[in-house]
Structure 1
């Protein structure tokens, strides 16, 4: 299966090798990420029924939706270091099985406090999954193809956004009252089960790395090792690189990417958690299944744009342009949604732009850390980016909920988040590495920040 752009590698042998690795790994990893993101954002649909059932205000919902990330962030770096120690297969399987169980048990919540507890536990259970997969992919793919690989993997968000709405809306509308359970309870019960099943599949099928992959020939393994050595040598020639954990937290390069990731995720989670509520507030329909179909459209457009951006970044070696463009488009989209919240067409167009912008920025952003981090420093640096970045998942929904209760509208909350996206774009302009090591650097590139 040809998943790698031929122009981004040096030889036909490399093209065949990385296309083969991608076709073996990415289908399972992509499916796992779809389930992960679906379990993370399905609370946005559950809220449409659950809020009245257990007595949740908008501020309490925003707090509960975001408090997931407190447990997630506290355990993220330790989890990634543990994965680095015990191997991806065992640790990722453990994460998936436990988070699937917690998702299913969320059907038992009876009020705000138990809702908060369930969300914190889900964050603890899922901690380390996303940075663990990012770290895992850096051991398989060199920097020159990493943006398009990240784009394919991150399509899990797009697929979850496209399928999550119709599936969640259909479950809640179709099973409400069955066997004495509300639709939102069925939602958690049924959408938690796939994570458990995929955890078992992961335990049986996922290789820890190239050395344990039986489907690689000796020649392919040798070619892969040579590419990895060249990648590490190129990384060592760059300024601001880090190889020890202690250096990561003093590395200015990483903190610039942390700011960009925080801003990008604030947009992503604001759209994911609040889009169903905004669409319902338009008053066009009260049918949950139809709301789900409407909310899937932005993710389809975002996925197409993201795949093109990933291929462009690897073909040209330019990471700064798609990052800046993505964050700028997200800023414009959030501003439109905020200014025209009472105009359904304009507000929804803004949500589409925000969704497209954040998806365009994501794959190129995550291709950067491996360009100046290696070994345990890579594990810690990637986890630091996701830990601080995912705090936006707490801040964004909570801010919007509080602002909505104080003003009666989500408009000011979305305008505030547009400022976050703008701050992320400014951080990217000072990002240290925007081109693949060894590729020509144009005169328009900003100076390296040490």
Structure 2
């Protein structure tokens, strides 16, 4: 029997067919566009992992310089992400996303002028400042359009864009670096920043005309569709029971820090595969940037499939903890295998790298379901940004750690074991610390009473 606060999933003032039609329209209108923006953002963030294949030699930099520069991006994230998300809640997603995209696009193009480590560090930090708020902002934005029971799928489709960015970005960077090298007296890696940064500026301008902030402002939804979607979202939000709305009160609760710790451990692994995946492939014998790009493309394509499938499966079974925890465990085991085999077996190393990408990326969209079960309002806006910004400090530390370890030991293996250890900790924290939020397949009920403490009250 469902609890008094339970409500049927999908029950609304309209028929099931009406509601499905409305959400289908929202999905087709928003998800491909937002995914396209995330692809541009991700390419501009991680193309440094590909350009390093020739950039370090041209500029005579060490792996440690690269690692610090790759990671300092996340310091900008840390300082500006919470303010950006709180601003989004006040002024809307359209203005916020436009500002973010134009800023990061111009900064990415400016990377072509880098000649010293100091310039490199500054522009990578500035890129993080401008991009801060985009990812958690979209997570918050999607909660305005989809009810709880549909969000894992929506998150998975949006976040899979980072994997598709790897599919597109790798071969594109490889082609640019080889085909445009020497054109107009510039290195191939300089052309990568120009060609991949400029579209972000254009997309930022398009955002102003394309997006609207909430369903009630969507001219492309009929009045009836707006009514039933808003009623459906409100009904499921009510079924979640009391959630924390005050940002400052949220900081006093253990739950928010548990989420930060979990996501920190996942980001350690995600940063390792993002910034050192191409390097691992080069270590096992592939020297061509084009070949490395295509191998990474295949790995990210499978990662995208894993993200989407895990999100669909999580929504279907209305379960988040095991879906996220087991995916992280797959990533952890795979990184440990890479550490053992990187100097022994190229084939096993490549297979393990693919599985590490699939596991780690599949854990992410389902993870973001869990904070929304405990946060709402300003606490959701600030809390999601806080989780993402503090956890992404791992994105600062991990590349620097891997680069420094390789510089001092001549091997990536010790650093990869550290990555594996962090990711298995994420699995343990999810399964031990996060309460089971259980809804049967016909109701959207509150968390199982025997396993859930008061949510951030």
CA contact (8 A) 2:437 2:447 kept: no
Structure 1: distance between partners of 2:388 and 2:105: 21
Is 1:18 paired with 2:23?
Answer: yes
Structure 2: distance between partners of 1:202 and 1:301: 29
CA contact (8 A) 1:334 1:415 kept: yes
Aligned CA distance change for structure 1 residues 436 and 367 (closer, same or farther; 3 Å): farther
Note the C-alpha offset of 1:265: 1.5
Structure 2: distance between partners of 1:179 and 1:436: 61
Give the gaps of 5 or more residues in structure 2.
1-7
CA contact (8 A) 1:64 1:116 kept: yes
Alignment of 1:159-308 (within 5 A): 159-237=164-242, 241-283=243-285, 285-308=286-309
Structure 1: distance between partners of 2:413 and 2:131: 31
Note the C-alpha offset of 1:133: 0.6
- Which of 73, 87, 90 does residue 68 from structure 1 map onto? 73
Note the C-alpha offset of 1:226: 1.0
Which residue in 2 is equivalent to 1:412? 414
Q: What secondary structure, in the 3-state scheme, does the structure 2 residue paired with 1:236 have?
A: coil
- Tell me whether 50-59 or 152-161 shows the greater mean CA deviation: 50-59
Structure 2: distance between partners of 1:434 and 1:166: 41
Which residue in 1 is equivalent to 2:85? 80
Structure 2: distance between partners of 1:109 and 1:434: 49
CA contact (8 A) 1:59 1:405 kept: yes
Note the C-alpha offset of 1:371: 1.8
Note the C-alpha offset of 1:12: 2.4
Structure 1: distance between partners of 2:312 and 2:438: 13
CA contact (8 A) 1:51 1:57 kept: yes
Alignment of 1:270-349 (within 5 A): 270-283=272-285, 285-342=286-343, 343-349=345-351
Structure 2: distance between partners of 1:314 and 1:304: 16
C-alpha RMSD of matched pairs (Å)? 1.8
Note the C-alpha offset of 1:315: 1.0
Give the gaps of 5 or more residues in structure 1.
1-6
Aligned CA distance change for structure 1 residues 210 and 174 (closer, same or farther; 3 Å): same
- TM-score (structure 2 length as normaliser): 0.93
CA contact (8 A) 1:128 1:383 kept: yes
Which residue in 1 is equivalent to 2:115? 110
CA contact (8 A) 1:144 1:436 kept: no
Q: What secondary structure, in the 3-state scheme, does the structure 2 residue paired with 1:432 have?
A: coil
Note the C-alpha offset of 1:377: 0.9
Note the C-alpha offset of 1:341: 1.2
Structure 1: distance between partners of 2:10 and 2:358: 27
- Which of 38, 53, 62 does residue 33 from structure 1 map onto? 38
Structure 2: distance between partners of 1:99 and 1:352: 29
Note the C-alpha offset of 1:449: 4.6
Q: Which runs of structure 1 show a deviation greater than 3 angstroms over 4 or more consecutive aligned residues?
A: 7-10, 433-443
Structure 1: distance between partners of 2:436 and 2:258: 11
Structure 1: distance between partners of 2:450 and 2:325: 13
CA contact (8 A) 2:283 2:342 kept: no
Which residue in 2 is equivalent to 1:3? none
Structure 2: distance between partners of 1:340 and 1:144: 41
Q: What secondary structure, in the 3-state scheme, does the structure 1 residue paired with 2:197 have?
A: helix
Structure 1: distance between partners of 2:419 and 2:282: 21
Structure 1: distance between partners of 2:429 and 2:292: 36
Which residue in 2 is equivalent to 1:383? 385
Structure 2: distance between partners of 1:143 and 1:360: 19
Structure 1: distance between partners of 2:237 and 2:279: 47
- TM-score (structure 1 length as normaliser): 0.94
Aligned CA distance change for structure 1 residues 377 and 345 (closer, same or farther; 3 Å): same
- Tell me whether 323-332 or 285-294 shows the greater mean CA deviation: 285-294
CA contact (8 A) 2:303 2:362 kept: yes
- Tell me whether 430-439 or 360-369 shows the greater mean CA deviation: 430-439
Q: How many residues align?
A: 439
Alignment of 1:395-406 (within 5 A): 395-406=397-408
Is 1:89 paired with 2:127?
Answer: no
Aligned CA distance change for structure 1 residues 192 and 442 (closer, same or farther; 3 Å): closer
What do the CA deviations read for 1:274-317 (whole angstroms, capped 9, x no partner)? Answer: 0111111212x322111111111111112212222111111111
Structure 2: distance between partners of 1:446 and 1:331: 31
Which residue in 1 is equivalent to 2:452? 448
